[in-house]
Copies of this chain bind each other. A is one copy, B any other.
Amino acid sequence: MDKCVPTCDEAVADIPNGATIMMGGFGPPGFPAQLVEALRRRRLRDLVIIQCGGGTEDYALGGLILDGAVRKLISSYPTHPGAWALRDRYLRGEIELEVLPQGTFVERIRAAGAGLGGFYTPTGVGTELAEGKEVRIINGRPYVFELPLSADFAFIKAHRADRWGNLTYRRTMRNFNPIMAMAAKVVIAEVDEIVAVGELSPEEIETPGIFVDRVVATERHPRLLRRT
């Protein structure tokens, strides 16, 4: 069993037009930027992207949106100042946008990964984000019904990996990555370093290799050190 792939380009070579792709990351930490840049080089169309933010400037997800590759973005906070590519296309009606409370966004992804059919959350009750959604009173409190959210591919970013796809993270790299790794048909991990099987301690592995299909080691892009 060897899940290593030599380059990001090879790791994303089989993604078709119209694919649904999750991308981990909250700000630069844990964002699989090199995989996304490789995806841009594929020149695909009609992608559905699931990412917490809206992309930054003309790089990675921002660039993918700028290129016109994205049909729809499912997101939570796509309104940071750097997300001008999304803003421009959205205001021109060229991209569809679904916005979810951040806890609902991640819990829907977890539900898909955990094989659940849906769940009730108190978040969003009585707001415009719950419009059209089923509300149910449970033990006297209203909850909104939410469905699982899955994808064809997940791009995730971790710190270290082995060839079985076991992953560790450092600092705030985890964010959505361990959850998205559970919820896509094909999970591709961009990592800082690949080590031998057995080198990661069983307790420190945060994403077990069972969730991961491909691993590719990359150099950190200098742009990732910039403030978002």
Chain B contacts for A139, CB-based, 8 A: 117
* Docked pose: A143 CA to B147 CA in angstroms: 12
Contact call B122/A115, Cβ cutoff below 8 A: yes
Identical copies of this chain, number: 2
Q: Is residue A136 contacting chain B, with contact meaning CB distance below 8 A?
A: yes
Chain B contacts for A202, CB-based, 8 A: 171
Q: Is residue A77 contacting chain B, with contact meaning CB distance below 8 A?
A: no
**Chain A positions 97-148 with a Cβ under 8 Å from a chain B Cβ:** 107, 111, 114-122, 136, 138-139, 141, 143, 147
* Least CB distance, A141 to chain B, in whole angstroms: 7
Picked from B111, B143, B170, the residue with its CB within 8 Å of the CB of A203 is B170
Contact call B114/A107, Cβ cutoff below 8 A: yes
Q: Is residue A169 contacting chain B, with contact meaning CB distance below 8 A?
A: yes
Chain B contacts for A120, CB-based, 8 A: 116-119
Q: Is residue A67 contacting chain B, with contact meaning CB distance below 8 A?
A: no
7 contacts between A and B (CB under 8 A): A107-B114, A116-B120, A116-B121, A117-B119, A117-B122, A117-B141, A168-B203
Known: A111-B119, A169-B203, A171-B202. 16 other contacts (CB 8 A): A115-B121, A115-B122, A116-B120, A116-B121, A116-B143, A117-B122, A117-B138, A117-B141, A118-B119, A118-B120, A118-B138, A119-B119, A119-B120, A170-B203, A171-B203, A204-B204
